[in-house]
Amino acid sequence: MGLKLGKSFDRNYNLRIPFLRGFYDIGVFFSKNSNFILYSVDPANQYDSNKSIKINMFKNLVSSKFCETFIKLHNYRSSSLDILNQYDQIKPEYHNEISFILNETIQLAKIKIEDREEDKVLFDTLNIYGFTLNVYHNEFIFIITERQNIVRGVNKKIVRTSGLQIATTGGIELLDDYHQESLISGKEGIVKPILDNTKIIKLK
């Protein structure tokens, strides 16, 4: 799949990830001066043509069923940090359901900040995390790309993320089942007062 890139992207990191009986070549395009991220996805040696495969890209990880179900995200804001939807951890209740297939960090720059109460070193990085569903380990991939960019003019680190999902129909159906189960279990046991507080109902 060819891409026409403007001046916004001046770096590229390539991955080859096994899928079904072949591979997907994935390009991560980004800029050394910003948090923008763009993906290219090209199948390589895909022989299982009878399987339906769907590719989704997520600018906002919160809109992903995978992240909503399995991943704990971190948000934080201060005078020196602006973090939105950073990968924190796999939710403990799902440690046996999903596995890492990627955990890579590319350090682009090391910047020393001297105009604070004490000197501080910040790293400009690209972090890539890859996951799969254990039951469909070769039919489901979810990649979180995290860009940690240092804005030198204000000495601030800005962290932004995006996601890429590649899955067969079976993988998507399993994800939907997990997601629905998490919504139901999250409501189980909650009680609500009705009118005079003498009656309660349980949401299941």
- The average pLDDT across 38-48 equals 81
Confidence at residue 149, expressed as pLDDT on a 0 to 100 scale: 92
In whole angstroms, give the CA distance from residue 86 to residue 139.
25
Beta bridge partners of 74: 86
Examine the pLDDT at 191 and tell me if it is beyond 90: no
- The average pLDDT across 160-164 equals 97
- The average pLDDT across 188-204 equals 41
The sign of the dihedral angle between the CA atoms of 66, 72, 77, 78 is negative
- Binning pLDDT at 50, 70 and 90, where does residue 190 land? very low
* Amino acid letter, residue 134: N
Confidence at residue 58, expressed as pLDDT on a 0 to 100 scale: 96
102-141 per-position pLDDT tens digit: 999 999 888 877 665 556 788 899 999 999 999 998 899 9
Q: In sequence order, which residues have a C-beta less than 8 Å from that of residue 184 and are 6 or more positions away?
A: 204
- Binning pLDDT at 50, 70 and 90, where does residue 31 land? confident
Examine the pLDDT at 188 and tell me if it is beyond 60: no
Tell which wins on pLDDT, 204 or 117: 117
pTM of the model: 0.83
Confidence at residue 113, expressed as pLDDT on a 0 to 100 scale: 72
* Amino acid letter, residue 37: I
